[in-house]
Copies of this chain bind each other. A is one copy, B any other.
Amino acid sequence: MAIYSVSATAPVNIATLKYWGKRDVSLNLPTNSSISVTLSQDDLRTLTTAATSDTFEEDTLWLNGKLESLQSKRTQDCLHDLRQLRAQLEDEDKTLPPMSKWKLHLVSENNFPTAAGLASSAAGFAALVVAVAKLYQLPQSMSELSKIARKGSGSACRSLFGGYVAWEMGELKDGTDSKAVQVLEKDQWPDMKALILVVSDIKKDVSSTKGMQLTVATSDLFQHRIAKVVPERFISMKEAIKNKDFNKFAELTMKDSNSFHSTCLDSYPPIFYINDTSKRIINLCHLINTFYETNIVAYTFDAGPNAVLYYLKENEDKLLSILNEICSNITGWNDKFSKEQTENWSNTYDKKLKNHFESFIVNYRDDIDKHVTRVIATQVGSGPQSTEESLIDEVTGLPK
């Protein structure tokens, strides 16, 4: 019995121009184009091993050590498309093993705790599609594969590339022009760093799929967002990225996060993803940018209260000497930053800074300290990678 297996990793991406709204729910076709930054797989990635054999009896998925259903329509759609592409290859070359007819074993693991509250579905579907595509030796480009990942989870299509990625919404009904493309490679603007502030909340509001549909159906302002605001911003943001203009990139990123959450609030009934702690982080970022008289930090919030802050490496000390006054005790802070660095920040937090941030710190430090439960410091990263690290025992075909 031959077991064929391949492993691949895929990254998390965080949108800076938000995907919110589907024009086709079944195909995950969006109402607007979006842009994201791919984060480093050193900190956040899904590793998936895909194995196939004529002896496997059932498509099976083990996710983070637990057996999961592969019966969801979204996963089935992805596997169906991949098998179809494989079948074409097999038609053309009869010597190929007929994998398109065999069942798959998929084993998947994230390198970050689920407790971080980060949507892992993008990395998950991207890793699944890439691993199976490699297993099937498919010749398709990443943009082509992104259309398949998109059917699994819309934003997964953007995880097929590293660096700076655009998801072009497309116009066609069948979605064949709705795909991810590279705006800029990681190495073309390598200094983008990211801090994820994980914010606790009593209860999660509606799921993003339900939320999107509610917004599309009920928000009056949403129609204007997709018809006018986002199309213009899509062009400007790509330009800002190509020009490596952080000040502009930051402004557009912050505005778009706010615009997206505005349409959530304008839904009926309204949807709230950001909370009072999120707002304090927003206010803090504006306070920091005001102090430096240019945008050195940008916040963005997905469908939850967690903040993702983007900044350039050259401004790390400026930014972190302030955040260190507010967040220094939070889990994750010391994983990335040495004692020497944090001591240095304490020393550079001078009187001028103290005066500017005093009232914020007096009013809000305790709240942030209480509600920000974890910090993940990371940066722009690469797209999906092949890896020798396998999660499947090649003899039994089961998870190691």
Q: Closest CB of chain B to A31's CB: distance in Å?
A: 15
The reply to whether B268 and A220 contact each other, CB–CB distance below 8 Å, is: no
Give the nearest-CB partner of A220 in chain B: B229
**Oligomer copy total:** 2
Given A220-B229, A363-B202, A363-B203 in contact, is the A265-B258 Cβ separation under 8 Å? yes
Residues in B whose Cβ lies below 8 Å from that of A133: none
Answer yes or no: A266 CB below 8 A from chain B CBs: yes
Answer yes or no: A307 CB below 8 A from chain B CBs: no
* Segment at the interface with B among A109-117, A271-279, A344-352: A271-279
Answer yes or no: A254 CB below 8 A from chain B CBs: yes
Answer yes or no: A259 CB below 8 A from chain B CBs: yes
Which has the most chain B C-beta neighbours within 10 Å: A203, A225, A265? Answer: A265
Can you name 8 extra interface pairs (CB under 8 A) apart from A221-B262, A269-B286? Answer: A220-B255, A220-B259, A221-B225, A221-B259, A254-B269, A259-B266, A261-B265, A270-B282
29 pairs of residues in contact across A and B, judged by CB atoms under 8 Å: A203-B363, A220-B224, A220-B229, A220-B255, A221-B221, A221-B224, A221-B229, A221-B262, A221-B263, A223-B224, A254-B268, A254-B269, A255-B266, A255-B268, A258-B265, A258-B266, A258-B267, A258-B268, A258-B270, A259-B266, A262-B262, A269-B282, A269-B286, A270-B282, A272-B279, A272-B283, A275-B276, A275-B279, A276-B276
**A residues apposed to B, CB below 8 Å:** 202-203, 220-221, 223-225, 228-229, 251, 254-255, 258-259, 261-263, 265-270, 272, 275-276, 279, 282-283, 286, 363-364
